[in-house]
Amino acid sequence: MSLAIGLALIVFDLIVSVIETYKTISAIKSESTPIMKDLNQALDEDNDGDGTEGFQDKYGLPVVNSNARQTNEERYLRTHLDDGSTVEDCVRVFREMCEMPLDDDLLLFECNSLSPYEERFMFSLVRQYPDGEGEYYQLRVLLEFEPDNINRRIVESKWSDTVPDFWQYIENSKAYKYACNHKAKRVVIMLEET
């Protein structure tokens, strides 16, 4: 009998934990909470290239990724792209984002089916730029496709400083033509540091 009561308490505790975790995640993602409204307002304001001082002073919390220019570019991609986006959409939106000026940036287009974790074909666009501390940020849009006999043979990698018309090169590539005729299983936007 005590075993049944113990198991019931554990199950109840797990259910409560799941509900509380869901509430927390919903509150973080929601702009209806005062702290999230303030954070979004701070990121939208550009005070000395940061825009987060007021938020940090009010809440005493650091803001990860507080470079407003970088945040705006990432936000632009996330606002205009999702898992339903086509390769045409991704290239167009990424190209629009690249019109936002940055110092000393480079663009990278790469495609392959090599992954250390799983089999997949990846179509990737990267904007690389200095972080101001001797390293680089890489803002990436990655389309993932199921592997097949065709895409396993497609391997491409070009930096914007190695081809005369970077965007035309992409649109004429085998990878782009392949991706135009196949649906990506997901679109990933990520910001990495080198």
pLDDT tens for each residue of 160-177? 999 889 999 999 999 999
Measured over the CA atoms of residue 17, residue 21, residue 22 and residue 23, the dihedral's sign is: positive
What's the whole-number mean pLDDT along residues 81-106? 93
Count the Cβ atoms, other than its own, within 10 Å of residue 155.
Answer: 13
pTM (2 decimals)?
0.62
What's the whole-number mean pLDDT along residues 35-40? 57
Query: CA angle, 139 as apex, 180 and 56 as ends, to 5°?
Result: 140
Residue 152 is predicted with a pLDDT of 87
Query: Quick check: 60 pLDDT over 50?
Result: no
Residue 141 is predicted with a pLDDT of 96
Look at 58-72, 78-92, 122-136 and tell me which has the smallest mean pLDDT.
58-72
Closest CA to 65 of 166, 169, 160, 193: 193
Query: Quick check: 39 pLDDT over 90?
Result: no
| Average pLDDT along the chain | 78
In angstroms, the CA 189 to CA 57 distance is: 30
Report CA-CA distances (Å) from 174 to 10, 55, 83, 184. Answer: 54, 47, 22, 16
Residue 102 confidence class, pLDDT cut points 50, 70, 90: confident
Query: Quick check: 104 pLDDT over 60?
Result: yes
Alpha helices by DSSP H, listed for the chain, are 2-29, 34-44, 53-59, 68-80, 87-98, 166-172, 174-180
Query: CA angle, 169 as apex, 166 and 171 as ends, to 5°?
Result: 115
In angstroms, the CA 123 to CA 85 distance is: 13
Non-local (6+) Cβ contacts of 35 within 8 A are 59
pLDDT, tens digit, 9 for 90 and up, residues 105-145:
999 999 987 665 567 899 999 999 888 888 888 999 999 99
